[in-house]
Structure 1
Amino acid sequence: MKARVTVTLKTGVLDPQGKAIEGALKSLGIAGVDSVRQGKVFDIELAGQDAIAAEAALKTACEKLLANTVIENYRVEVGV
Protein backbone atom coordinates (compact mmCIF):
# COMPACT_ATOMS: atom_id res chain seq x y z
CA MET A 1 0.00 0.00 0.00
CA LYS A 2 1.23 3.48 -0.80
CA ALA A 3 0.81 6.57 1.31
CA ARG A 4 1.83 10.20 1.17
CA VAL A 5 2.62 12.44 4.12
CA THR A 6 2.73 16.18 3.46
CA VAL A 7 4.33 18.43 6.08
CA THR A 8 3.95 22.22 5.93
CA LEU A 9 4.74 25.09 8.24
CA LYS A 10 1.86 26.41 10.32
CA THR A 11 0.35 29.76 9.39
CA GLY A 12 2.33 32.57 10.96
CA VAL A 13 5.62 30.67 11.12
CA LEU A 14 8.34 32.42 9.11
CA ASP A 15 9.43 30.49 6.00
CA PRO A 16 12.86 31.72 4.85
CA GLN A 17 13.15 28.99 2.20
CA GLY A 18 9.77 29.95 0.79
CA LYS A 19 10.85 33.60 0.65
CA ALA A 20 14.09 32.63 -1.14
CA ILE A 21 12.13 30.58 -3.69
CA GLU A 22 9.69 33.46 -4.14
CA GLY A 23 12.56 35.86 -4.83
CA ALA A 24 14.21 33.45 -7.25
CA LEU A 25 10.99 32.96 -9.19
CA LYS A 26 10.54 36.71 -9.49
CA SER A 27 14.15 37.18 -10.62
CA LEU A 28 13.53 34.55 -13.31
CA GLY A 29 10.63 36.62 -14.60
CA ILE A 30 7.89 34.28 -13.41
CA ALA A 31 4.91 36.63 -13.18
CA GLY A 32 2.04 36.47 -10.72
CA VAL A 33 3.82 34.89 -7.75
CA ASP A 34 2.46 36.50 -4.59
CA SER A 35 4.03 34.17 -2.03
CA VAL A 36 5.62 30.73 -1.66
CA ARG A 37 5.44 28.34 1.30
CA GLN A 38 7.86 25.42 1.23
CA GLY A 39 7.17 21.99 2.71
CA LYS A 40 8.13 18.32 2.66
CA VAL A 41 6.51 15.30 1.01
CA PHE A 42 7.17 11.70 2.05
CA ASP A 43 6.02 8.91 -0.29
CA ILE A 44 5.90 5.75 1.81
CA GLU A 45 5.22 2.14 0.83
CA LEU A 46 3.66 0.00 3.55
CA ALA A 47 3.17 -3.75 3.89
CA GLY A 48 -0.41 -4.92 4.31
CA GLN A 49 -3.78 -3.63 3.17
CA ASP A 50 -5.32 -2.19 6.35
CA ALA A 51 -5.72 1.51 5.53
CA ILE A 52 -6.93 2.45 9.02
CA ALA A 53 -3.92 0.83 10.71
CA ALA A 54 -1.58 2.38 8.14
CA GLU A 55 -2.99 5.85 8.75
CA ALA A 56 -2.66 5.43 12.52
CA ALA A 57 0.94 4.25 12.19
CA LEU A 58 1.83 7.17 9.93
CA LYS A 59 0.23 9.68 12.28
CA THR A 60 2.41 8.26 15.05
CA ALA A 61 5.44 8.56 12.76
CA CYS A 62 4.56 12.21 12.10
CA GLU A 63 4.15 12.99 15.78
CA LYS A 64 7.47 11.33 16.68
CA LEU A 65 9.72 11.97 13.67
CA LEU A 66 8.43 13.36 10.38
CA ALA A 67 6.96 16.65 11.62
CA ASN A 68 7.85 19.18 14.28
CA THR A 69 4.28 19.62 15.49
CA VAL A 70 5.13 22.82 17.34
CA ILE A 71 5.64 24.66 14.02
CA GLU A 72 4.40 22.21 11.36
CA ASN A 73 1.11 20.65 10.26
CA TYR A 74 0.92 17.30 8.51
CA ARG A 75 -1.56 15.48 6.28
CA VAL A 76 -1.63 11.69 5.78
CA GLU A 77 -3.12 10.22 2.61
CA VAL A 78 -3.32 6.42 2.33
CA GLY A 79 -3.85 4.71 -1.00
CA VAL A 80 -2.36 7.40 -3.24
Structure 2
Amino acid sequence: MPTIVVDVMPKPELLDPQGKAVSGAFARLGITGFSDVRIGKRFELTVEGEVTDEVLAEARRIADEVLSNSVIEDVVGIEVTE
Protein backbone atom coordinates (compact mmCIF):
# COMPACT_ATOMS: atom_id res chain seq x y z
CA MET A 1 0.00 0.00 0.00
CA PRO A 2 1.30 3.49 -0.75
CA THR A 3 2.13 5.86 2.08
CA ILE A 4 2.05 9.63 2.14
CA VAL A 5 4.79 11.06 4.37
CA VAL A 6 4.18 14.49 5.90
CA ASP A 7 7.07 16.39 7.51
CA VAL A 8 6.34 19.28 9.89
CA MET A 9 8.97 21.62 11.37
CA PRO A 10 8.84 24.53 13.79
CA LYS A 11 8.81 27.90 12.05
CA PRO A 12 12.40 29.13 11.56
CA GLU A 13 11.88 32.24 13.66
CA LEU A 14 10.78 30.25 16.73
CA LEU A 15 13.01 28.74 19.40
CA ASP A 16 13.30 24.94 19.25
CA PRO A 17 14.08 23.85 22.84
CA GLN A 18 14.45 20.17 21.90
CA GLY A 19 16.87 21.06 19.13
CA LYS A 20 18.85 23.28 21.51
CA ALA A 21 19.10 20.40 24.01
CA VAL A 22 20.40 18.02 21.32
CA SER A 23 22.84 20.66 20.08
CA GLY A 24 24.15 21.06 23.64
CA ALA A 25 24.51 17.29 23.98
CA PHE A 26 26.55 17.21 20.75
CA ALA A 27 28.97 19.70 22.27
CA ARG A 28 29.27 17.70 25.50
CA LEU A 29 29.87 14.51 23.50
CA GLY A 30 32.58 16.12 21.41
CA ILE A 31 30.52 15.99 18.21
CA THR A 32 31.54 18.90 16.00
CA GLY A 33 30.71 20.21 12.56
CA PHE A 34 27.03 20.91 13.21
CA SER A 35 25.97 24.46 14.05
CA ASP A 36 22.26 23.92 14.78
CA VAL A 37 19.71 21.17 15.36
CA ARG A 38 15.97 21.52 14.75
CA ILE A 39 13.52 18.76 15.59
CA GLY A 40 10.26 18.24 13.75
CA LYS A 41 7.55 15.65 13.29
CA ARG A 42 6.96 12.98 10.64
CA PHE A 43 3.56 11.49 9.89
CA GLU A 44 2.95 8.44 7.68
CA LEU A 45 -0.52 8.15 6.18
CA THR A 46 -1.24 4.74 4.64
CA VAL A 47 -3.47 5.09 1.59
CA GLU A 48 -6.18 2.60 0.72
CA GLY A 49 -6.03 2.39 -3.04
CA GLU A 50 -4.30 4.64 -5.55
CA VAL A 51 -2.75 8.00 -4.71
CA THR A 52 -4.59 10.43 -6.97
CA ASP A 53 -4.38 14.21 -7.15
CA GLU A 54 -7.50 14.33 -4.98
CA VAL A 55 -5.91 12.10 -2.32
CA LEU A 56 -2.79 14.27 -2.29
CA ALA A 57 -4.93 17.40 -1.97
CA GLU A 58 -6.76 15.85 0.99
CA ALA A 59 -3.43 14.90 2.59
CA ARG A 60 -2.27 18.51 2.19
CA ARG A 61 -5.49 19.78 3.78
CA ILE A 62 -5.12 17.36 6.70
CA ALA A 63 -1.46 18.32 7.11
CA ASP A 64 -2.33 22.02 7.23
CA GLU A 65 -5.45 21.76 9.41
CA VAL A 66 -4.87 18.75 11.68
CA LEU A 67 -1.25 17.57 11.76
CA SER A 68 0.39 20.97 12.19
CA ASN A 69 -0.20 24.10 14.22
CA SER A 70 0.04 26.86 11.61
CA VAL A 71 0.92 29.44 14.26
CA ILE A 72 4.21 27.75 15.18
CA GLU A 73 4.84 25.08 12.52
CA ASP A 74 5.25 24.72 8.75
CA VAL A 75 4.44 21.69 6.64
CA VAL A 76 7.78 21.32 4.86
CA GLY A 77 7.19 18.18 2.82
CA ILE A 78 4.58 15.79 1.51
CA GLU A 79 5.79 12.83 -0.51
CA VAL A 80 4.45 9.47 -1.64
CA THR A 81 6.37 6.29 -0.87
CA GLU A 82 5.52 2.78 -1.92
Unaligned runs of 5+ in 1: none
Q: Which residue of 1 aligns with 2:47?
A: 46
- C-alpha distance in 2 between matches for 1:25 and 1:40: 20
Mapped pair 1:25 → 2:47: no
Query: TM-score, normalised on structure 2?
Result: 0.86
Q: Which runs of 4+ in 1 moved over 2 A?
A: none
Coordinate RMSD, CA, aligned: 1.3
Contact 1:4 1:76 in 2 (8 A): yes
1:50 to partner: Cα distance: 3.1
Contact 1:51 1:79 in 2 (8 A): no
TM alignment of 1:1-80, pairs within 5 A: 1-74=2-75, 75-79=77-81
Query: TM-score, normalised on structure 1?
Result: 0.88
1:59 to partner: Cα distance: 1.2
- C-alpha distance in 1 between matches for 2:79 and 2:54: 12
